[in-house]
Amino acid sequence: MRNPAVETNSPTERILILVAVCLAGLSMPVSFTGPAIALPAIARALDGSPLALNWVTNAFMLGFGSCLLVAGTCADLFGRKRVFLCGTLGFALSSIVATRASSMLALDLLRALQGVASATALSAGAAALAQEFEGEARTRAFSVLGTTFGVGLAFGPIVAGALIANFGWRSVFWSVTVITLTALCVGAKCIRETRDPGATGLDLPGAATFTCGLTLFTYAVLRVPDSRWTSPLVLGLLAASAVVTAIFVLVETRVRRPMLDLSLFRYPRFIGVQFLAAAPAYSYVVLLVLLPVRFIGIEGYSSVAAGQMMFALSAPMLVIPMLAGYLTRWFTAGVISGAGLLLCACGQFWLAQCEQGQPIAHMLMAMFLIGVGVSFPWGLMDGLAVSVVPKERAGMATGIFNTTRVAGEGIALAIVSALLASFVETKLRGTAFASVDARILAEAASRLVMGDLSTAVTMLAHATTADLVKLYGAAFRLLLYVLAGITVLSAVMVFGFLSHSKLPHLQEQEPDVEPASRQSRTGAAVQ
């Protein structure tokens, strides 16, 4: 292994390293948006229940979010290049096997493996970038990475729609295989091996309790449409999740080198960055899954048309993140991010007014406004994330940030799906279907949320397609109002914690956290 203290890569090699990491990053949003477009086709092919179909997206997000902290630690301990290559290879292999999945269970398990591998590649790749670039160059590099995510979000639905229409839903997994193998080849040639000299080992108890707690909570929320919030099963799962999470906190306060340094939460800017990381989940990410289901399953658009419509939501990601970085010359990152979230909330409120039968241009403009608003914080989050810890702990920094972001997205998707199912069921109870058995109503509501309109019509006697489409639209409108309120609250929190935080050249001002040389004092206090 080369010594990073005496050897550095040439400018061309650094660009190729950035290309490799961006390609690995590109596979993540494509793997998220592509299967979302394919859900109706997957449901027809594999005959999945609503709960099993939910896991197509949630298994990936859960695997990704629960393993990011471990992946960051592994990158610091075993080497960023080695972990990056293992992650990209694992992602490619799991994607290839997913093309042969013959059951919902097999597909869900493979989606979880994809999430773990993607987390490994992205966390190690981001840590490698932090070693190659300094100051303003690092800010630009992470802005490019954020823009790459935007490209995946923007074109993923379009490409997925075209692939599904011409080659079937399994072709979506072949597309990410090609992207990831390219990242593997470029990274193997150009990334130099670096490690954290202070890394001491893996925090296995912390990793196990964190993953277990997150899994229990996600499963509890996914059971809500079938079992309700007050059922013994859901309450038991939530209680178990709380207990395991408390054990995780206890473990992290006692180990010498924790997976998650809880002392960081004493610093306002660190807390603000975590709020900023979670904010897009409710303002944007959940719509990447719910809107394709609505367009294809409820309103009858083709997968190609739905993919093209989703471009209005994600297209701003191609430009606005770079504009956000440019605006930091005059405004702080917190102000730009908070203003973007307020703009996003306006788009959500506008979208709530768009009903079926109105000109499609109204809906597309509302979606575009949401995309513009969320793109401003999206372009600043990654650069802020690596500025909250010393350079040597870059793997932990990206792990914490991306865990908050992706775990928040998985939880948000589960909660919002359960909330939409509750709204649909409430609307059903307020109509002529009130006399129908409660279990049938709950199942019908779950089917509507998953876009299975035909089954819902069959389950409800005397129901017409037009009635259920109108009812679903009313429930979706109510959901958008709730999301807009959450987005406004997120903007307020970001203004409060980050309004004075600029996007700094990381070496030019004192970070908000203690440097590594002073962390021994914190460690002694903990011990």
Average pLDDT of the segment spanning 227-256: 83
Residues belonging to the chain: 527
Is residue 211 assigned to a domain? no
Query: If pLDDT is split at 50, 70 and 90, which confidence band does 499 have?
Result: low
Residue in the block written with tokens 């299975």: 452
Q: What is the DSSP letter of 517?
A: G
Q: 3-class secondary structure for 417-439?
A: HHHHHHHHHHHHHCCHHHHCCHH
Least confident interval from 35-44, 78-87, 237-246: 35-44
256-259 LR contacts (CB < 8 Å, sep 24+): 256/200, 256/523, 256/527, 257/198, 257/199, 257/200, 257/201, 257/203, 258/203, 258/206, 259/69, 259/70, 259/73, 259/202, 259/203, 259/206, 259/207, 259/210, 259/396, 259/399
Cα distance between residue 275 and residue 494, in whole Å:
7
All residues at 6 or more sequence positions from 242 whose CB lies less than 8 Å from its CB, including other chains: 213
What residue type is assigned to position 317 of the chain?
A: M
For 450, the token pair is 């998953």
Of 30-39, 208-217, 418-427, which gets the smallest average pLDDT? 30-39
Q: Taking a C-beta distance cutoff of 8 angstroms, is the pair 306, 163 a contact?
A: no
CA–chain centroid gap for 447, Å, is: 24
| 221 part of a folded domain | no
How does pLDDT run across 325-380, given as a tens digit for each residue? Answer: 777 778 877 788 888 999 999 999 999 888 776 778 888 999 999 999 988 887 77
- With residues binned 3-state (H G I as helix, E B as strand, rest as coil), the percentages for the chain, rounded to 5, are 80, 0, 20
Query: Is 282 within a domain?
Result: yes
Tokens of 248: 């995780």
Find all residues with CB under 8 Å of 437, minimum gap 6, and list them. none
- The answer as to whether 205 is a domain residue is no
pLDDT of residue 27: 82
Q: Is 15 a residue whose pLDDT tops 70?
A: yes
Q: In total, how many domains does the chain have?
A: 1
Token pair of 517 as six digits: 């040389």
Give the model confidence (pLDDT) of 120-130 as tens digits.
Answer: 888 888 878 87
Q: Which domain holds residue 322?
A: 11-194+255-526
Average pLDDT over every residue of 200-225: 76
Residues 6 or more apart in contact with residue 160 via CB below 8 angstroms: 30, 33, 34, 35, 37, 38, 172, 175, 303, 307
Q: Is 243 inside any structural domain?
A: no
Give the pLDDT of residue 433.
64
527 pLDDT more than 60: no
Is residue 287 a part of any domain in this protein?
A: yes
Chain-centroid distance of CA 35 in Å reads 14
Q: For 502-522, b where at least 16 C-beta lie within 10 A, e where not — what string?
A: bbbebeeeebbbbeeeebeee
- Say how far apart CA 148 and CA 146 lie, in whole Å: 5
Q: What is the CATH number of the domain that holds 381?
A: 1.20.1250.20
Residue 225 covered by a domain? no
Q: Can you give the pLDDT at residue 2?
A: 43
| 184 inside domain | yes
